[in-house]
Amino acid sequence: MPHQLKTPERPLSPRLSIYRWHATMMASLGHRASGLALVLFVPIYLWLLRGMTGSTEQFDATSLWLHSGWGKLFLWVMGVALVYHFVNGIRFLCIDTGWFESRTALRNTALVVLGIAALAALLLMVLL
């Protein structure tokens, strides 16, 4: 008699709408989102560098944009993404080496990362 599997009660590939939201899930999703934002930032960063090293008119135009509301918002988002991705990356490296593997430690370190990102967001808001 062949082995028959029960019909799974849960989907094999769960979606976000199925999971209960918790700190470790938000930390993981935030890491992916911040990584994507940073990758998409590279062409804009290169464009900004080109504008800052070009003619005087290009420098002035780039500087004007960076000091505008949209420029400051852009720099704030990228700054928060960079800090978050860096700190959470260190968290993931620690988990990969065997530290913080308990459920409580995973939750607590995720909350610490989210807290550091919130502090970085506030600090960058004040500085920009």
Residue boundaries of the structural domains of the chain: 23-127
H helices, E strands: number in the chain: 4, 0
pLDDT (0 to 100) of residue 5: 56
**Spatial contact of 37 and 78, defined as CB atoms under 8 Å apart:** yes
Tokens 């800052």 belong to 52
Q: What gap in Å lies between CA 108 and CA 75, rounded to an integer?
A: 29
Give the CATH architecture of domain 23-127. Answer: Up-down Bundle (1.20)
pLDDT (0 to 100) of residue 25: 83
**Spatial contact of 37 and 73, defined as CB atoms under 8 Å apart:** no
Q: What gap in Å lies between CA 61 and CA 72, rounded to an integer?
A: 14
Given a cut of 50, the residues of the chain with pLDDT beneath it are none
pLDDT (0 to 100) of residue 9: 65
Residues composing the chain? 128
